Amino acid sequence: MHLSLKEENALTGKMLYLIAAGLLSASIAAGPAVSAPAPATRHYVVKRTPAPIFADGKLDEPAWQKCARIDLVNKSGGPPEQATTAMMLWDDRYLYIAFDCWDTHIWSTLTQHDEALYNEEVVEVFIDADSDGETYVEFEVNPLGALFDGYLLNRSGKRDLILAWNSELIRWGVQVNGTLNDPADTDVGWTVEYAIPLADIATGPHTPPQAGDKWRVNLYRIDVPQGKGGALQGTAWSPVSGRTFHDPDRFGEVEFSDEVVK
């Protein structure tokens, strides 16, 4: 059997994912049990898109205009200083996630893959497809279009990040309505589209998902309203403890539906 380069890369990514999960299982077998995540406090029914989404960050597909919106909140559940909305759609190949970030001063300096984007302005997606609270994947995109993707092991009070795991077929795009890193003017905001390959989410109940499948997911934004040197402000779909975004027991719940958005 001959595989294309994309198929080989996707297979390699899935193998790394499964190897990591296997290592986790072996480690936990000798350690204390991990309690199951608490029931989700947020629930979102993700509907099908009638046509593939071109992940350029423009949010101009008709499906987005008819999609249910999510408002990100601060750790107490209240409104943030600068609003963020998000939306989700899917088809047999991708989970599509869009962010619309109001931002009067858009600030970002990092441009390399897997740099510490979380130290600046960024939007993030965490996916725990088997809802075990022990393994999940993380995706981040900043206003400059840099991507961070990693695989997390969360057990026995210890969290390990595996940056060797990459989503080879992921697509994403960013649009900036303003001027990056210029405090002299007033910006409007920035938007992001993710097309996350379902084949890369190896722990899901089914690939592609079936109607009724549920994943634990959380969506985040880190905002720095004052720009360089300012305080980081974190918001989330499902509120977290405040110490970290890595609270898989507090992730929201996404339920896949066969209904086409219209």
24 close to 135: Cβ distance less than 8 angstroms:
yes
Q: Please determine, for residue 18, whether its predicted confidence score (pLDDT) is greater than 90.
A: no
CATH number of the domain that residue 222 is part of: 2.60.40.1190
Q: Which domain holds residue 164?
A: 5-31+44-260
pLDDT at residue 85, as a whole number? 98
Lowest mean pLDDT among 25-39, 49-63, 186-200, 212-226: 25-39
Q: Please determine, for residue 244, whether its predicted confidence score (pLDDT) is greater than 90.
A: no
Q: Is the dihedral of CA 114, 118, 122, 123 positive or negative?
A: positive
Is 39 contained in some domain? no
The helix/strand/coil state of 219 is strand
pLDDT confidence tier of residue 36, bands split at 50, 70 and 90:
low
pLDDT at residue 234, as a whole number? 94
Q: Please determine, for residue 68, whether its predicted confidence score (pLDDT) is greater than 50.
A: yes
pLDDT confidence tier of residue 38, bands split at 50, 70 and 90:
confident
Is 38 contained in some domain? no
Average pLDDT (186-192) is 98
Q: How far apart are the first and last CA of the chain?
A: 41
Is 117 contained in some domain? yes
Is 139 contained in some domain? yes
Pair of tokens at residue 158: 């210890």
Provide the number of structural domains found in the chain. 1
Q: Is the dihedral of CA 60, 169, 142, 176 positive or negative?
A: negative
pLDDT at residue 183, as a whole number? 92
